[in-house]
Amino acid sequence: MTKHNAVRSLCLLYLFNGMVFSTWGIFIPYFKQFHGINDAALSMAMFSMSAGAILVMGRAGRLVNAIGTRKSLIIFSVLYPLMLLLLFLSPSFYLACGFMLLFGMSLAVLDVAMNVEATALEKHLNRPILSTIHGMFSLGGIVGSLSGLLAQALGLKPLPYVILMMLLIALFSQWLSRNLRGVTTVEQGEEMVHVAMLKQPLRLWLVGILAFLALFPEGAMYDWSTVYIKEILRPDPHYNYLGYALFSTGMTLGRLTGDRLRKRAGDAKLLTVMACVGVFGIALILLVNSFGLSLVGFFLLGLGLANMMPLLFMAAAKGDSPNTSASIAMVTRLAYAGMLTGPVIIGGISVHFGLQAALWVISATLALIALTGGRLMR
- pLDDT score, position 308: 87
- pLDDT score, position 302: 92
Spatial contact of 366 and 221, defined as CB atoms under 8 Å apart:
no
The tens place of each residue's pLDDT in the chain, 378 residues long, gives 566 677 888 889 999 999 998 898 888 888 988 898 887 888 888 888 878 887 887 677 778 878 888 888 899 999 999 999 999 999 999 999 999 999 999 988 998 888 888 877 777 777 777 778 878 888 888 888 888 888 888 888 889 999 999 999 999 998 888 877 665 543 443 333 344 566 677 778 888 888 898 889 988 887 788 888 888 887 777 777 788 888 888 988 888 887 788 778 877 788 889 999 999 999 999 998 788 899 999 999 999 998 888 778 777 766 555 556 667 767 877 887 888 788 888 888 988 888 888 999 999 999 988 888 777 766
Domain spans in the chain, listed from the N-terminal domain onward: 3-184+194-377
- pLDDT score, position 63: 84
| Predicted structure pTM score | 0.72
> Could you give the CA distance from residue 39 to residue 96 in angstroms, rounded to a whole number?
16
- pLDDT score, position 318: 67
Per CATH, domain 3-184+194-377 is 1.10.10.10: no
